Structure 1
């Protein structure tokens, strides 16, 4: 019998600031009970709040001329890929938030050291598959799930312009594409995507959506594993397609995280669109055997378009005898992942 992957992404829980204990959660999986471990982050989104503009209030998304955002700072970013990335290139991303050392590698080190590590890791993967060029990427948690409801009851925190623009500038300078990731909590997906629209107008900016923190049952983030239906994924695809058409952009990439059966419902109803490249990303930590089984059960057996695989510098070592998988091991999977993410 296949084992379920014990996994849970780092969750920024604002009311747990300073707490370093772990809470055991129970959620259902196809083999019975899935035990998940959520770190009660000492570096939560509350401490990741660099200025008063980190707020969950709405922003205007007034249209600008094609190819322009209407924001002088954003329009000064010149990195502009001019064609579809997949499958010509493999995307290699560092994930996290610059205000938290524990949400991922993106914020664990100072910018220059982080980018040096990114480049070195890319060399390892390029050596493992010299025939597939690699597109560097930074994957920012731009809207972070929260353990407290906030003023509007959304259980999420939107990063400020200052934070998002900082990471976009890093990507622009390093010729790396940037993913803006949404952990929606209780907030509707549509307005959260609209909040990011002015950034998505840039040709090197793409989108990620995380079902783990899509709390359709009304549960508080961190107490249950959330989910998206195919209709939600289609909503994101249609939104990105509209951005592509209105701004004469190359296809956008949409990364959808997944590590349980229930996180994506009715996958057969997900509709492909030539303007959007969908990546189903196996987003779970644990020993290699469990990661491979999860990839087989939730990614390979329920195909959508392209596939991804996530590796954890810290969590993949948490179980006795565990280790991080080597590039050659990941590339031996079927189908071969075209999106690789390190947290």
Structure 2
């Protein structure tokens, strides 16, 4: 397959901010985080005091009651969040237009990612950084394809290449899925062998989940809490069955209708969910999107996307900095660069 064979509808031009086998006992599964001041049973799995403290820090002084999220389970050992901030490069190896991951040769791409990592380490020295490559493993298409699903799955050799590149800097890998007219239930099994690896996590993109049967790119798609719950339960089972550390599940969002019934999203000790602000534009517009669609519907953790090209199209023609993002309530713990 060549680069011209893929017509990406996931590239930045189509988005606007206006619009990831441990034995578990019952007591561990029932433990929840109520806030730093709450009385909690001592967990024998992670440093719960540090977990509470870091979550409170991410809330950044919020007094709404939304943040930090209440009644979330403590994660299993090896959890990344909130102990580290994930800094990811997004894209596809077949396309120079879908993000930095595919725009540059691997050596240059990793060097550029390291520059961003260093910026975050300087801006927030109290939070270690975990580099990541966020690879679009199922790409929404402009053509229906043989099965009429308007999506193309990337071959194993390309995913293997991403894993090899990531290993050079001890980066984790996200496999991102744009289902188009397919479903997460049909797509996840194709990537199970990779999701069984401890360093591989999952991203799902409702923008290209076309439940109405519309062609991808003609309107913004949607996922319901039931779709997210299916993915998190799928990942949780893989973690338990294969003795893995918790998986991170990122969910893209830049409008309200992209995610429905967020109050019904279920949390698991085996999975950490990031609601990821995926819109582009000038800083005030991006902050508004975060404030309207991420902040008031708390799930667990938050993410924020930065676009090297589209974020500077309008005045003041500058990307937001780590210092800018650290002023948000809550502070995002997953940052993606496209």
Q: What is the TM-score with the length of structure 1 in the denominator?
A: 0.77
Would the aligned equivalents of 2:6 and 2:94 in 1 still touch at CA under 8 Å? no
Paired residues for 1:124-203 under 5 Å: 124-203=119-198
Residue 297 of structure 1: aligned partner:
292
Distance apart, 1:14 and its partner CA: 5.8
SS at match of 2:213: coil
Tell me the CA shift for residue 120 of structure 1: 1.2
Q: Does structure 1 conserve the Cα–Cα contact (< 8 Å) formed by 2:7 and 2:141?
A: no
Contact 1:280 1:304 in 2 (8 A): yes
CA–CA distance in structure 2, aligned partners of residues 100 and 151 of structure 1: 22
Aligned residue for 1:262, secondary structure, equals coil
Find the aligned partners of 2:132 and 2:304 in 1 and give their Cα distance: 14
Question: How far apart are 1:16 and its partner, in Å?
Answer: 6.0
1:7 alignment counterpart? none
2:112 maps to 1:117: yes
Give unmatched runs, 5+ long, in structure 2.
23-76
CA RMSD of aligned residues (A): 2.2
In structure 2, C-alpha distance between the alignment counterparts of 1:326 and 1:249, rounded to whole Å: 34
Match of 1:261 in 2: 256
CA 1:194/1:328 → structure 2, altered by over 3 Å: closer, same or farther?
Answer: same
The equivalent residue for 2:44 is none
Given candidates 237, 241, 245, the residue that maps to 2:236 is 241
Deviation at 1:151, TM superposition (A): 0.7
User: CA 1:304 to 1:15, structure 2 compared with 1: closer, same or farther past 3 Å?
Assistant: closer
CA contact (8 A) 1:13 1:148 kept: no
Query: Separation in 1 of the partners of 2:299 and 2:269?
Result: 13
Deviation at 1:15?
8.3
Instruction: Tell me the CA shift for residue 172 of structure 1.
Output: 1.9
Deviation at 1:322, TM superposition (A): 2.8
Q: Is the 8 A contact 1:14 1:148 kept in 2?
A: no
Q: In structure 2, what is the equivalent of residue 272 of structure 1?
A: 267
Of 219, 226, 232 in structure 1, the residue corresponding to residue 221 of structure 2 is: 226
Higher relative contact order (CA 8 A, sep 6+): 2
Aligned-partner SS, 2:269:
coil
Query: What TM-score does the superposition give when structure 2 sets the normalisation length?
Result: 0.78
Aligned to 1:105: 100
**1:201-224 Cα deviation digits (max 9, x unpaired):** 100000000000000111100100
What is residue 56 of structure 1 aligned with on the other side? Answer: none
Whether the 8 Å CA contact 2:249–2:274 is kept in 1: the answer is yes
CA 1:211–1:121: 2 relative to 1, 3 Å? same
Residue of 293, 310, 317 corresponding to 1:315: 310
Q: Distance in 1 between matches of 2:126 and 2:210?
A: 41
- Summarize deviations over 1:133-185 as a string: whole Å, max 9, x none: 00000000010001111111111000001100000111122200000000000
**Displaced runs of 4+ in structure 1, greater than 3 A?**
12-17
Task: Report the alpha carbon displacement of residue 321 of structure 1 after superposing the two structures with TM.
Answer: 2.8
Deviations 1:221-280 (A, max 9, x none): 010000000000000001101111111000000000000011000000000111000000
- Give the whole-Å Cα distance in 2 for the aligned partners of 1:286 and 1:260: 14
